[in-house]
């Protein structure tokens, strides 16, 4: 509901800011000494276009706000499970940041298991299920590691655990 009601206004505001920032950063770039258009030309054009389009979107969103809000009210309520989304996002962010220092095997063993548990429906979190997830986790991580390391000759981040 929130996204349907205020979505376009937020998008408009975000893009206005993005366009403004692009123009500001483009102005900091050096002009070309050898030709008419330099590295600042394209960012300038894109930034200006973004601002114009974003203002158009904002204008139309504000103009039709009442009608759109009524439509949004009539929609069924948002039942999205944001807890699982947020937990997944936090896990992924942690995972990609510890991948290098901790190494592929350890970090993936941890991440994959936790991610499966987070995504598992409530009735699939019994002790038996959890054990199954742990087995899948270990098998998958080692298969991927050995396949890439010895099959494709790609060395994954070793971190503190080298093989």
Partner 1 sequence: MDALSQLGAAALRVCEPTSLLLMIAGVAVGIIFGSIPGLSASMAVALFLPLTFSMSSSLGMNVLVAVYIGGISGGLISAILLNMPGTASSIATTFDGYPMAQKGEAMRALGVGIVFSFLGSIFSFIILTFFAPWLADVALKFSFPDNFGICFFALTMVAILSAGNMVKGLLAGMLGLVFALVGLAPIDGTARFTFGIPEMRGGFNTLTTLIGIFAVADILVSAETIGGGVKTIPVKKVKGFGFSIAELFKWTPGAIRAALIGTGIGILPGIGGSTSGMLAYVTAKNMSKHPETFGQGDPEGIVATECANNATIGGALIPLLVLGIPGDGVTAMMLGGFLIHGLSAGPLLFVKNADVVYGIFAACMICALIMLIVEWTCIKAFVQVLKVPKHILLPLILVLCAVGAYATNNRIFDVQSIVVFGVIGYLYHKFRLPTTPFVLCFLIGRMTEEYLRRGLQRFKTFGAFFQRPIFCVFFGIAVAVILWSVYKEFKASRAEKKA
Q: Tell which positions 76-135 bind partner 1, by CB under 8 A.
A: 79-82, 84-85, 87-89, 92-93, 95-97, 99-100, 104, 108, 111-112, 115-116, 118-124, 133
Task: Tell me the CB-side half-sphere exposure of residue 34, using CA atoms within 13 A.
Answer: 1
Q: Which two tokens stand for residue 36?
A: 């008419």
Considering the complex, state which of residue 7 and residue 73 has its C-beta at the smaller distance from partner 1: 7
> Does residue 38 interact with partner 1 by CB under 8 A?
yes
Total residues binding partner 1 (CB under 8 A): 71
Contact 138, 109 (CB under 8 A): yes
Q: Which two tokens stand for residue 163?
A: 């093989």
CA distance 96 to 111: 10
- 3-state class (DSSP) for residue 120: coil
The only residue of 42, 62, 70, 135 in contact with partner 1, by rule CB under 8 A: 42
Considering the complex, state which of residue 73 and residue 145 has its C-beta at the smaller distance from partner 1: 145
> Does residue 22 interact with partner 1 by CB under 8 A?
yes
Contact 58, 16 (CB under 8 A): yes
How many whole angstroms from its chain centre is CA 131? 30
Q: Quote the least distance from Cβ 75 to partner 1, whole Å.
A: 12
Q: Quote the least distance from Cβ 93 to partner 1, whole Å.
A: 6
Q: Quote the least distance from Cβ 46 to partner 1, whole Å.
A: 5
Q: Quote the least distance from Cβ 162 to partner 1, whole Å.
A: 16
> Does residue 140 interact with partner 1 by CB under 8 A?
yes
The only residue of 34, 77, 127, 160 in contact with partner 1, by rule CB under 8 A: 34
């Amino acid at each position: 509901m929130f996204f349907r009601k205020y979505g376009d206004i937020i998008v408009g505001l975000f893009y206005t800011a993005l366009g403004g920032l692009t123009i500001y950063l483009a102005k900091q770039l050096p002009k070309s000494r050898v030709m008419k258009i330099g590295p600042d030309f394209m960012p300038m054009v894109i930034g200006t276009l973004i601002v114009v389009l974003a203002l158009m979107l904002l204008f139309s969103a504000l103009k039709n706000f009442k009608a759109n809000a009524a439509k949004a009210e009539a929609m069924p309520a948002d039942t999205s499970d944001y807890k699982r989304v947020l937990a997944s996002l936090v896990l992924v962010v942690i995972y990609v940041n510890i991948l290098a220092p901790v190494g592929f095997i350890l970090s993936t063993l941890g991440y994959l298991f936790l991610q499966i548990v987070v995504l598992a429906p409530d009735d699939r979190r019994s002790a038996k299920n959890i054990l199954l997830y742990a087995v899948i986790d270990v098998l998958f991580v080692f298969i991927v590691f050995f396949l890439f390391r010895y099959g494709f000759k790609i060395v994954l981040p070793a971190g503190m655990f080298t093989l």
